[in-house]
Structure 1
Amino acid sequence: FTLETTLKHELCHLLLHHHIADSRLPRWLDEGVCQWASGGISELMATHGSNALTKAVVDKTVMRMRDLETFPRDEESIVLAYEESKNLIEYIAGEYGQQSIVRMLNYLREGYTVDDSVQKSLSISLAELERTWHGYLKGKYSWFSYLSNNLYPILFLAGALLTILGFIRFLKKKREYVDEEEGDGL
């Protein structure tokens, strides 16, 4: 992450909180929009890599949107919450257009609830948005993508196991050879 990205991210927070009451702005929307608008990832994700979402989809542990209203306290869950928030906003922008996010924020500024803002902006309910987004995640992130993201550790582990098995086989053959030599010497 760079200073420029961080400044854009934090300025975005200031703008959002200046125009929308904190009680109306869920954390997933706040963080997701700020990451999306700044074109970068949060400092937390930059230091931990960005594999948490793929792992959560594969493990079927994706957080629900209501769990993202406020972020969890443990570090692993926070990283996942940031990734999910950014991905959800990217999904909305990709499926419904960037203007839909602006409309959603405008409705929140006018005092509408999150549910009503989503309904008016996207013409679907918040529950339907969550359902379609989870479907999108399942299609995008699979075992294949998880394995490809972890290719080097998997190859390293496989190489280590093969080396150990080869060494065991070598010791076994050596013992058999020594036993044969001792048997021939009698």
Structure 2
Amino acid sequence: MTGLIKLPTCIIFLIFLASPLLAKIILEGADSPELASYIENETEKLEAFFETDAGSIFVFVAENREQFDSATGNILPEWGFAAAIPRMSKVILLSQRKFNPSVVAHELTHILLHKKTKNSYIPRWFDEGVAQLLPGEAMQGSTIRLAFASVSGKLIELPDIDDVNIFHSDKAHLAYAESYIAVKLLYEEVGKESLIRFISDIPKLGFDRAMLSHFGITESGYNKIVLEHIRRHYNIFSIFLDQRVIFLVFLLLLFISYIRVKIRNRRKIREWENEEGPAPY
């Protein structure tokens, strides 16, 4: 059972460093029962999934961008508005954003995943893919983004996603979309139990050797499988199956229909006026 504590900054840090067992979740910078309850519940779910204890997690909600950048060491790009620092069991959120459960769950997943791997190295694509898949994070606009990248030959090699923090916003979103697909494919193929056993062996074997041991393939080999899957399933036709495109096409058809009706009505009015002739004096 998780516990929540909210105290002034200096006291929070003393408790967190000196006696982490006093509280499971330490929340600073926000007085939100909704957020606090969500963090507790989500942490318990992730503990059950990863079969590990979260320990104490420190969640800091920054008041503004300047405070957020300072708390994250000024290393995040402008498109970043949440961060996890697994070695410190710390989550940092930007309060200007409306409370988004999937974002909070995403960062908590990073913490628990790294707890399970004992902070061993894991590729960024796997890290981000797991953090999107488990909370059920929606991939808005990803179909179009993946399709355009596939058709134009601009898909990102999975190992290159390690540098996502220096990508511009569009490329970063593509990297996250590819990461989601990569982990989703793996999860659907091997299931939860095999995935957890693989993650558990990463501290002992390293990521690449653990992949080879459990799945019979290296990261390099899996990279080829994922990119080929994306090329097969995301193409020019995928764009027209995207819900947003369908909605826009529907709106366009409504607009065209409206214009046609207006033109037809005006034509009718002119015809009636011509038939009636000039009004008598």
Partner of residue 140, structure 2: 51
Number of equivalenced pairs: 173
Name the CA distance, whole Å, in 2 between partners of 1:63 and 1:52.
17
Deviation at 1:89, TM superposition (A): 1.2
More strand, by proportion: 2
Name the CA distance, whole Å, in 1 between partners of 2:213 and 2:171.
31
More helix, by proportion: 1
Task: Give me the TM-score of the superposition, normalised by structure 1.
Answer: 0.67
Which residue identity lines up with residue 13 of structure 1 in the other structure?
H
SS, match of residue 69 in structure 1? helix
Residues 58, 26 of structure 1: CA spacing in aligned structure 2 closer, same or farther, 3 A cutoff? Answer: same
Partner of residue 74, structure 2: none
Partner of residue 119, structure 1: 212
2:253 to 154, 158, 177: 158
Alignment of 1:84 with 2:178, yes or no, is yes
Which residue identity lines up with residue 143 of structure 2 in the other structure?
T
Residues 102, 170 of structure 1: CA spacing in aligned structure 2 closer, same or farther, 3 A cutoff? Answer: same
Name the CA distance, whole Å, in 2 between partners of 1:69 and 1:52.
22
1:33 to 127, 130, 138: 130
Q: 1:1-186, aligned counterparts within 5 Å?
A: 2-3=38-39, 4-5=41-42, 8=46, 9=105, 10-18=107-115, 19-21=118-120, 24-36=121-133, 38-41=134-137, 45=138, 50-59=139-148, 60=150, 62-72=155-165, 73-110=167-204, 112=206, 114-138=207-231, 140-141=233-234, 143=237, 146-147=240-241, 149-150=243-244, 151-179=246-274, 182=277
Residues 111, 148 of structure 1: CA spacing in aligned structure 2 closer, same or farther, 3 A cutoff? Answer: closer
Name the CA distance, whole Å, in 2 between partners of 1:157 and 1:140.
27
Residues 173, 11 of structure 1: CA spacing in aligned structure 2 closer, same or farther, 3 A cutoff? Answer: closer
Name the CA distance, whole Å, in 1 between partners of 2:145 and 2:155.
5
Name the CA distance, whole Å, in 2 between partners of 1:146 and 1:85.
23
SS, match of residue 124 in structure 1? coil
Larger RCO: 1 or 2 (CA < 8 Å, sep 6+): 1
Q: Any gaps of 5 or more consecutive residues in structure 1? A: none
Query: Is the 2:146–2:174 contact (alpha carbons within 8 Å) kept by the matching residues of 1?
Result: no
Which residue identity lines up with residue 126 of structure 2 in the other structure?
L
Q: Any gaps of 5 or more consecutive residues in structure 2? A: 1-34, 47-104
Partner of residue 72, structure 2: none
Which residue identity lines up with residue 29 of structure 1 in the other structure?
F
Name the CA distance, whole Å, in 2 between partners of 1:144 and 1:78.
21
SS, match of residue 156 in structure 1? helix
Residues 67, 177 of structure 1: CA spacing in aligned structure 2 closer, same or farther, 3 A cutoff? Answer: farther
Deviation at 1:6, TM superposition (A): 7.0
Task: Give me the TM-score of the superposition, normalised by structure 2.
Answer: 0.48
Query: Is the 2:181–2:226 contact (alpha carbons within 8 Å) kept by the matching residues of 1?
Result: no
Deviations 1:81-140 (A, max 9, x none): 33432332121011233344334434431253x444433332123233223223434555
Query: Is the 2:125–2:162 contact (alpha carbons within 8 Å) kept by the matching residues of 1?
Result: yes
- State the superposition RMSD in angstroms: 3.5
Query: Percent identity, aligned pairs only?
Result: 23
